[in-house]
C-alpha cells in the first residue's frame, strides 16, 4: 500500500542530495532564474488544477474557511517552528532551510497526482501514478535544492505523513473519495499551489501553509452539498 509513497520519499531524498551539491557553487543570478521559472510553472500548474472544480462556491468557501482556521491556529508558525527544530538538530546554517522545506512539501503534495495517486494506492493498491510522480519529484527536488539548499531534503518527512495518511484514509473510506470529491480536492490544492507560485516570484508574501485546512473543509462541504 505504501510502496509508492516510500519510493516517492526516496526520490526526493536522492534528488535533493544532487541539488545540494550544485547549491554550494550555484551563482545567485542563476538561483533567481530558477526561482522565476519554478514560480511561473507553479502558477500554471495551479491554474490547471483549479479548473477541475465541480462547484465554484465549494471552492471559494473551502479556501476562505480553511485560511481562517489556519490563521487562527497559526499553522504556518507551527510548521516553521518544526522546521527550525529540524534545522537546529541538523546544525544547518542555511538561512532558507525552513522556507525550502515548506515550499518543497507544498509543491510535492498539493498536486493532482498526489491526491489521485495516494487514493488509488489506498483503494486498489495501485502505485503506478505515485511511481510516475516520484520521477517528476526527483527532478523538481534537484532544482529546488540547488536554490533552497538542504531544507528541501527534509520535505520527505511531511511528504511521508501526508501521502501516507491520505492512502490510509482512502483504504478505510472508499465511498467518500468520489470523482467530484477528488476534483474539488485537486482544485483547492491548485489554489494553494498558485499562492506558492506568487511567493516564489516575490509578487506577494502569502502564508501558504495556513490554507492547508482547506483540504479538510472541501471534503466536508463536498460530502454535504454533492
pLDDT in tens, 46-63: 999 999 888 999 999 999
**What's the whole-number average pLDDT of the chain?**
91
Which set of grid coordinates corresponds to residue 131? 511511481
Please report which confidence band the pLDDT of residue 25 belongs to, taking 50, 70 and 90 as the band edges: confident
Q: Please say whether the beta carbons of 131 and 79 come within 8 A.
A: no
pTM over 0.75: yes
Please report which confidence band the pLDDT of residue 112 belongs to, taking 50, 70 and 90 as the band edges: confident
Predicted local confidence at residue 43, as pLDDT: 94
How many domains is the chain partitioned into structurally? 1
Please give the residue range of the domain that contains residue 185: 3-225
Q: How far is CA 221 from the centre of its chain?
A: 22
**What number of other Cβ atoms are within 10 A of residue 38's Cβ?**
20
* pLDDT exceeds cutoff 80 at 173: no
* pLDDT exceeds cutoff 80 at 162: yes
* pLDDT exceeds cutoff 90 at 210: yes
For residue 76, give every residue at least 6 positions away whose Cβ sits within 8 Å of its Cβ, in sequence order, or none.
Answer: 70, 207, 208, 209, 210
Predicted local confidence at residue 111, as pLDDT: 83
Amino acid at each position: 500500500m505504501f510502496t509508492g509513497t516510500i519510493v516517492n520519499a526516496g526520490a526526493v531524498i536522492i534528488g535533493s542530495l544532487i541539488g545540494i551539491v550544485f547549491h554550494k557553487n550555484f551563482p545567485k543570478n542563476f538561483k533567481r532564474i530558477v526561482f522565476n521559472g519554478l514560480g511561473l510553472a507553479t502558477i500554471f500548474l495551479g491554474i490547471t488544477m483549479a479548473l477541475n472544480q465541480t462547484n465554484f462556491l465549494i471552492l471559494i468557501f473551502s479556501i476562505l474557511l480553511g485560511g481562517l482556521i489556519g490563521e487562527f491556529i497559526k499553522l504556518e508558525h507551527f510548521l516553521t517552528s518544526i522546521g527550525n527544530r529540524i534545522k537546529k538538530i541538523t546544525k544547518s546554517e542555511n538561512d532558507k532551510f525552513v522556507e525550502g522545506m515548506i515550499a518543497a512539501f507544498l509543491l510535492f503534495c498539493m498536486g493532482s497526482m498526489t491526491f489521485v495517486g495516494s487514493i488509488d494506492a489506498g483503494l486498489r493498491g495501485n502505485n503506478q501514478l505515485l511511481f510516475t510522480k516520484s520521477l517528476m519529484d526527483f527532478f523538481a527536488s534537484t532544482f529546488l535544492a540547488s536554490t533552497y539548499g538542504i531544507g528541501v531534503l527534509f520535505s520527505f518527512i511531511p511528504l511521508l505523513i501526508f501521502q501516507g495518511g491520505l492512502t490510509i484514509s482512502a483504504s478505510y473510506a472508499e465511498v467518500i473519495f468520489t470523482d467530484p470529491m477528488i476534483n474539488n480536492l485537486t482544485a483547492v490544492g491548485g489554489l494553494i499551489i498558485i499562492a506558492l507560485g506568487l511567493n516564489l516570484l516575490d509578487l506577494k508574501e502569502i502564508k501558504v501553509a495556513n490554507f492547508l485546512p482547506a483540504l479538510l473543509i472541501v471534503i466536508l462541504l463536498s460530502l454535504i452539498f454533492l
